[in-house]
Structure 1
Amino acid sequence: MGDAQCKKIGEAIGLLAFEGEMISCERYGSGHINDTFRLVCKDRGVIKPYIIQRINHEVFKDPVTLMKNISGVTSFLRETIIAQAGDPDRETLNIVKARDEKDYCQDSEGNYWRGYLFIEGATTYDKVRNPEDFYQSGRAFGHFLRRLGEYPAKELTETILNFHNTPVRLKAFQEAVKADVCNRAHLVRKEINFVLNRENEADTAMKLLREGRLPLRVTHNDTKLNNIMIDDKTGEGLCAIDLDTIMPGLSIFDFGDAIRFGANTAEEDDPDSSRASLSLELFEIYTKGYLEGCKEVLTAEERTMLPMGAKLMTYECGMRFLTDYLQGDTYFHTSRNNHNLDRARTQFALVADMEKKWVEMVEIINKFQ
């Protein structure tokens, strides 16, 4: 398998209640955090495909609680999908329990593993191939939020504390600037000032949450295109995957993170930040899909705050990249010099372009009210 932490995969396969005898097991997907494999078994002549994953317990410190979150949400979704006459085997993840009935297993070296039914006839895409894909991802994430509208968000545990808490991220950034452990602050004074010039907006969403004006919801928190499976035949957004960051959160942040990633005219780490801008076409397409998926679930305040969600998520992400640059590139994986700095500059260029196009963004949201 290459990765020493995955050498116990054979043991894990035996501990999870997969049906039949293993035919093959190969690495699968493009994820960078967990180790993912497609397992194929044969049971009395029937081919049965599965996903088996090693949970990265260095990133997710409490895999047991994480799996409790996922189990609760997927069980709820399955019941909801059945009640709506949908296909529960394809429209949500389905956990393969361990032979001891837990939602995970632990190998003899302490690694945590889990299994899922493999969803056939659907594909994930790392990039927007066409506007329809982006529309379908928006519709699917909106539908995901709506289906979980009655799930008690406070029962979920934060798998990564303060994951989307912009004031907390700002404080960490300010501390990194002050410490300047790598003597890099003087090289990025322009970028530092960009962040500080907007610090009065950092608490906007969290303040509305504290005041009860934005509701706490069950949110995905990683709403990239490649976390939606697209049906190969119909082209429709089918199922939200990668639920490790499912937590209590704000709908505007789920919306905003998708816009940050999918409606940018540049790659996230483009070394030429002048290529970064907001595609209003893609912004409108995603908004249409997302609001169709949500239907009546969002409040008027949530709808009004969707542009701010896009801006705050982009601002926060750029701030995190710049924080990591100042601290010596210790969190995000880098593959070249100034990689995190390039990422930060691209995010800030996108924020600046959103500010220029703010009236148009608001008009688009109002179009779908």
Structure 2
Amino acid sequence: MFNNILTHFGLTPAQYTVQPFGSGLINHTWKISTDDGQPRYILQQINTAVFKQPEDIALNIGNLGAYLQKHSPNYLFAGALPDSNGTYLYVDDKKRYFRLFPFIARSHSVDMVHSPEQAFEAARQFARFTRLLSGFDTSLLKITIPQFHDLSLRYRQFTGALANGNKLRIRDASVLIDYLQQQRHLVETYEQVKKDPGFRVRVIHHDTKISNVLFDPQKKGLCVIDLDTVMPGYFISDVGDMMRTYLSPVSEEEKDFLQIQVREAFFTAIAQGYLGELSNELTPVEKQHFVYAGQFMIYMQALRFLTDHLNDDVYYGARYDGHNLIRAQNQAILLQQYNEKERSFNQIISTI
């Protein structure tokens, strides 16, 4: 398999070794190194179960890269490499889609946020990406995952699961269901966001986990990577995803709920990093909803996990019985703790 792919991109297979790379859960990724062990390229197979139209991803990244090359040529853009025909995808006889990236030397990524400094650098990079593309026509971007961060849709799916899901699981999760229903005002706020002209549609990454940022040896941010989910959207998607994944020292997989906490220093770091780059771009009403961004994303993920649990784990699957219920409870506790700090967080934003 690899010989044909490497040859397609103009590489001599005998001169390279291929090894699995990274911790991503969606696409398969490999590191391509020379005989002396030096990594040169990253090869990735696109998961077509998630991304139904891989050509749309290639088109998006190509258009974004061309825009940045013209308007911000010094920006380190982690785009795919073209083949000899100028196309960015290799499709094998099994209809599997592959693309090749340059390996960025002296860079590294991390899987968990361990310090406010990391949170600051990551937030700055995601904001910088959006800022540099502020003049890009978002209508040129293809939607690679339809309604990905549509909170109204996620709530409708939740109510559908309450009507048609596993009755035993619905009964056993009644306390959690009641709590999430009480937070429905967050959906109503999202409906207002969509109608408010003060909320601008921007180029948004949509997957701002810390592993999608490259750092240099001095632990400074270099650029953002994994651009498959870059689509038109609202800034609350990126900020909210950072709040959800950076504020707590543990992930949604944690079963010991006592370990879940919301760290104010990390919130401050995200706000300073993001607003330091985008403060002049965001409208007054967007800034007023900066804290809401965290509620928006944490709540949505809690809904999605519980919905899947009530539907017998048909979307995420489950590694053990009750896996998605644990995830949903985890996120609900995170949301509860976040809400308790809402006034404090708004004060932080006002000072910034």
Same fold (TM over 0.5): yes
What amino acid does structure 2 have at the position aligned with 1:191? Answer: L
Partner Cα separation in structure 2 for residue 127 and residue 212 of structure 1? 36
- The aligned residue for residue 284 of structure 1 is 268
- Change in 2 beyond 3 A, CA 1:277/1:135: same
SS in 2 for 1:52: strand
- Structure 1 residue 30: deviation in Å? 0.5
Residue number in structure 1 paired with 2:21: 28
**Could you list the runs of 5+ residues in structure 2 that have no partner in the other structure?**
none
Please name the residue that 1:62 is paired with. 53
Alignment match of 2:324 (pick from 325, 335, 340): 340
- Aligned partners of 1:141 and 1:293 also within 8 Å: no
Shift of residue 182 of structure 1? Answer: 6.3
**Structure 1 equivalent of residue 88 of structure 2:** 103
What residue number does 1:240 align with?
224
Instruction: Report the CA distance between 1:293 and its aligned residue.
Output: 2.3
| 2:66 partner letter | S
Report the secondary structure of 1:269's partner residue. Answer: coil
Residue 72 of structure 1 pairs with residue 59 of structure 2:
no
Letter of the structure 2 residue corresponding to residue 37 of structure 1: W
In the superposition, relative to structure 1, how do residues 211 and 290 fare at CA in structure 2: closer, same or farther (>3 Å)? closer
Listed as ranges, the matches of 1:80-95 within 5 Å are 80-82=71-73, 86=74, 88=75, 91-95=76-80
Q: CA deviation at 1:183?
A: 3.4
**1:59 maps to amino acid:** V
Structure 2 Cα separation of the partners of residues 122 and 19 of structure 1: 25
Distance 1:19 1:128 in 2: 38
Counterpart contact for 1:19–1:48, Cα < 8 Å? no
- The secondary structure found in structure 2 opposite 1:25 is strand
State how far apart, in whole Å, the 2-side matches of 1:310 and 1:80 are: 31
Q: Are residue 11 (structure 1) and residue 4 (structure 2) matched?
A: yes
Please name the residue that 1:40 is paired with: 33
Preserved contact between residue 199 and residue 285 of structure 2 (Cα < 8 Å): yes
Q: 1:188 deviation in Å?
A: 0.2
Which blocks of at least 5 consecutive residues in structure 1 are unaligned?
1-7
* Corresponding position of 1:357: 341
**What count of residue pairs does the alignment treat as equivalent?**
352
- The Cα shift of 1:283 comes to 0.4
Give the superposition deviation at 1:348: 0.7
What's the secondary structure of 2:157's corresponding residue?
Answer: helix
Provide the C-alpha distance between the structure 1 equivalents of 2:84 and 2:328, rounded to a whole number of angstroms.
Answer: 46
Q: Which amino acid aligns with 2:113?
A: V
Identity value in percent:
27
RMSD: 1.9
C-alpha offsets along residues 323-366 of structure 1, whole Å, 9 cap, x if unaligned?
11111112225322222111111111111112211110101111
Aligned partners of 1:331 and 1:226: how far apart in 2? 23
Query: Tell me, what secondary structure is at the counterpart of 2:248?
Result: coil
Distance (whole Å) between structure 1 residues aligned to residue 339 and residue 169 of structure 2: 28
Q: Residue 246 of structure 2 is aligned with which of 237, 259, 262?
A: 262
Equivalent AA in structure 2 for residue 320 of structure 1: R
